[in-house]
């Protein structure tokens, strides 16, 4: 019995050791499996990490539009786009607006990034604008150019068109005055109206015109511009626009001394066009204050120059008349032929866009004195004025109506019109009768201002215009050399002078043919 129990105990112990062995093997097997799985996972993770591709998400105004591999691709795209715009708009400063673009770094396993598609899309989204300078005339923008240098070049082209060599508008002046003292706030630039020319300091003895000043008649301003690139012009295009003339319809009121030719010249039109626009118009019946329809040439920009001209002219000898009681009345003897002198005449000429609008006599310098021509008249017998002969074959001559005369405008065609007489200046403003005769008109004539007409023998008449004072009356008989008035600038006149005409039987004559 005891032997059986002992045997059973041994069997149980053997079975227990077997079970413990099996359990130990299972534990070893489970740990190996775990270790193997962990190794496989780690290796896979390292593979994924090794194959992750870094790239950048690109956003425009917060909205994703794609990805790029490097930010340098973005910078290169900006550079290329800027170059395209600069080529497309060579006369403008183009600013590519990239402030709405942001990027974010990202990594993905074997990420497929299409940088070109992203950058192409971004190019279509990026806006741009031009920065430049507006040129304004009387507050109105007439042109936009690239910068201050271009604005100066445009204005200088306009100035040099009419006044070659005029002092230039400087780009520095535009740039410095187009910003406030702090340099941060843009303000308008009001360009200096007057630019002095160094030529004004030249010697007055030269015959070449001296430019004293050049200015723009209108207010010219330059302001910073930001806007469409299509509005920016090249220097040549902007200058052409400023040089263009426009035509506008205006009403003109006739003034004292006006003639159709004078009105046409002043308004930049033609006599033919004035007559076409005003049916029934007659110069002889034209009244002061009468309204005329005119098509006037209007300048976009007017360049006004003030010039000084010095013209050397030959002066006629003054005439001195003496009497000889031993010489028969009606007979004259030239005791001395006299000698010509010379003077330098000084005028101030104002031009607008190259056209003379005013010419003022300033003074004169005698460079060679004249000697008088002495005429001796016989007084042995009284001769009536009607007995004087004024024919082509006689020795009768008219006397100069002023002493020491200088002709400033001769008889004949002038500025496209017929100048009916001669214009004369003198330092002595006394006007005298050119010959014996009877005063037939004193008063105001259209174009002539204060005027005197004297009738002489043999169908001759003389006319004296632009007087400041009339010293005779209608019907009065005058002798050669009698004072009849004072030189002036009334009527259609650009300065103090005498306009003198000679008529024979109603037809114009050249006064210098008859003056002794």
Give the C-alpha separation, 237 to 168, whole Å: 19
The mean pLDDT value of the chain amounts to 80
245-299 has CATH 3.40.50.2300 classification? no
Asked if residue 381 has pLDDT above 60, the reply is no
Give helix 115-125 / helix 71-88 axis angle, nearest 10°: 40
Share of the chain above pLDDT 90, in %: 35
Quick check: 179 pLDDT over 50?
no
Do 275 and 282 form a contact (C-beta atoms < 8 A)?
Answer: no
Report the alpha-carbon distance of residue 446 to residue 451 in Å, rounded: 10
User: 243 in helix, strand or coil?
Assistant: helix
Is the model's pLDDT at 330 over the cut of 90? no
Q: Whole-angstrom distance between the N-terminal and C-terminal Cα of the chain?
A: 192
Q: What integer pLDDT is reported at residue 362 of this predicted model?
A: 87
List the one residue out of 328, 323, 377 whose CA is nearest residue 516: 377
What are phi and psi for residue 265, nearest 5 degrees? -65, -45
- How many Cβ atoms sit within 10 Å of the Cβ of residue 425? 23
Which conformational region is residue 447 in: left (phi greater than 0), alpha (psi within -120 to 50 degrees), or beta?
left
CA dist 454 and 463 (Å) reads 7
Q: Domain segments of the chain: what residues?
A: 54-126, 132-195+217-243, 245-299, 306-383, 385-516
H or E stretch at 241: helix 235-243
pLDDT at 425 over 80: yes
Rounded to 5 degrees, what angle do the CA atoms 60, 65, 69 make?
100
pLDDT recorded at residue 259: 86
Which pair of structure tokens corresponds to residue 236?
A: 């040549």
Architecture of domain 306-383 in CATH?
Single Sheet (2.20)
Q: Residues 278, 249: contact at Cβ < 8 Å?
A: no
How many Å apart are CA 218 and CA 230, to the nearest integer?
A: 27
Task: Give the mean model confidence (pLDDT) for residues 377-392.
Answer: 50
**Do the bridges between strand 373-378 and strand 319-324 make them parallel or antiparallel, or are there none, so unpaired?**
parallel
DSSP 466: E
What are φ and ψ of residue 283, in 5° steps? -65, -35
Between CA 161 and CA 153 the distance in angstroms is 12
Reported as a single tens digit per residue, the pLDDT across 205-255 is 445 788 888 998 888 888 999 999 999 999 999 999 988 877 778 899 998
Q: What is the four-CA torsion angle of 457, 458, 464, 469, rounded to 10 degrees? A: 20
Comparing C-alpha atoms, which of 108, 115, 109, 104 is closest to residue 66?
A: 115
Q: How many CB atoms lie within 10 A of CB 353?
A: 20
Q: Is the pLDDT of residue 110 over 60?
A: yes
**What is the torsion angle, in degrees rounded to the nearest 10, for the CA atoms of residue 84, residue 89, residue 92 and residue 93?**
-10
The CATH H-level (homologous superfamily) assignment of domain 385-516 is Glucose Permease (Domain IIA) (2.70.70.10)
Residues of the chain above pLDDT 70, percent: 78
Long-range contacts, stretch 405-412, CB < 8 angstroms, 24+ apart? 405/315, 405/316, 406/313, 406/315, 406/343, 406/345, 406/364, 407/313, 407/512, 408/345, 408/361, 408/497, 410/512, 411/508, 411/510, 411/511, 411/512, 412/510
pTM of the model: 0.54
pLDDT of 36 over the 60 cut: no
Token pair listed for 346: 């000084």
Burial label, 169 (beta-carbon count in 10 A; 0-12, 13-18, 19+)? buried
Residue of 37, 42, 221 whose CA lies nearest to 142: 221
Instruction: Please check the confidence at residue 383 and state whether its pLDDT lies above 70.
Output: no
Which residues, in sequence order, are bridge partners of residue 397? none
More confident residue, 161 or 109: 161
CA-only gyration radius of the chain, Å:
50
Rounded Cα distance between 427 and 4, Å, is: 176
pLDDT of res. 1: 43
Query: DSSP characters for 72-122?
Result: HHHHHHHHHHHHHHHHH-TTSEEEE--TTEEEEEEEEET----HHHHHHHH
Over residues 349-368, the mean pLDDT reads: 87
């Amino acid at each position: 019995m005891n032997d059986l129990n002992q045997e059973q105990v041994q069997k149980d112990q053997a079975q227990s050791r077997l079970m413990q062995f099996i359990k130990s093997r299972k534990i070893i097997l489970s740990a190996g499996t775990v270790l193997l799985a962990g190794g496989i996972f780690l290796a896979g993770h390292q593979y994924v990490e090794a194959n992750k591709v870094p790239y950048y998400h690109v956003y425009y105004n917060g909205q994703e539009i794609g990805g790029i591999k490097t930010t340098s691709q973005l910078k290169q795209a900006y550079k290329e786009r800027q170059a395209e715009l600069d080529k497309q708009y060579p006369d403008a400063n183009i600013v590519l607006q990239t402030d709405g673009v942001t990027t974010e770094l990202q990594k993905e396993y074997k990420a497929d990034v299409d940088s070109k598609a992203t950058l192409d899309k971004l190019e279509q989204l990026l806006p741009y604008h031009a920065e430049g300078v507006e040129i304004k005339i009387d507050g109105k923008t007439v042109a936009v150019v690239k910068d201050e240098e271009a604005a100066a070049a445009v204005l200088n082209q306009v100035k040099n068109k009419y006044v070659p060599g005029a002092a230039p508008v400087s780009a520095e002046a535009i740039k410095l005055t187009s910003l406030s003292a702090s340099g941060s706030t843009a303000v308008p630039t009001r360009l200096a109206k007057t630019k002095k020319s160094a030529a004004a300091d030249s010697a007055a003895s030269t015959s070449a015109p001296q430019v004293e000043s050049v200015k723009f008649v209108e207010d010219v301003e330059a302001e910073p511009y930001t806007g469409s690139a299509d509005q920016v012009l090249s220097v040549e295009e902007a200058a052409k626009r400023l040089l263009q003339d426009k035509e506008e319809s205006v009403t003109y009121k006739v003034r004292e001394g006006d003639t159709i030719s004078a009105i046409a010249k002043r308004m930049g039109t033609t006599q033919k066009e004035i007559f076409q626009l005003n049916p029934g118009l007659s110069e002889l019946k034209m009244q002061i204050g009468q309204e005329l329809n005119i098509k006037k040439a209007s300048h976009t920009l007017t360049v006004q120059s003030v010039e000084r001209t010095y013209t050397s002219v030959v002066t006629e000898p003054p005439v001195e008349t003496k009497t000889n009681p031993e010489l028969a009345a009606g007979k004259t003897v030239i005791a001395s032929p006299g000698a010509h002198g010379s003077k330098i005449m000084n005028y101030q000429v104002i031009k607008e866009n190259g056209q003379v609008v005013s010419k003022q006599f300033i003074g004169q310098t005698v460079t060679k004195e004249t000697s008088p021509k002495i005429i001796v008249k016989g007084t042995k017998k009284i001769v009536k004025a009607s007995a004087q002969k004024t024919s082509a074959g006689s020795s009768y001559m008219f006397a100069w109506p002023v002493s020491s005369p200088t002709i400033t405008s001769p008889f004949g065609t002038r500025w496209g019109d017929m100048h009916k007489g001669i214009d004369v200046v003198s330092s002595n403003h006394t006007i005298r009768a050119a010959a014996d005769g009877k005063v037939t008109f004193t008063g105001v004539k259209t174009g002539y201002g204060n005027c005197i007409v004297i009738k002489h023998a043999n169908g001759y008449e003389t006319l004296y215009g632009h007087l400041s004072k009339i010293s005779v009356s209608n019907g009065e008989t005058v002798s050669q050399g009698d004072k009849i008035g004072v030189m002036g600038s009334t009527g259609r006149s650009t300065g103090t002078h005498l306009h003198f005409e000679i008529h024979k039987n109603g037809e114009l004559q050249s006064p210098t043919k008859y003056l002794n």
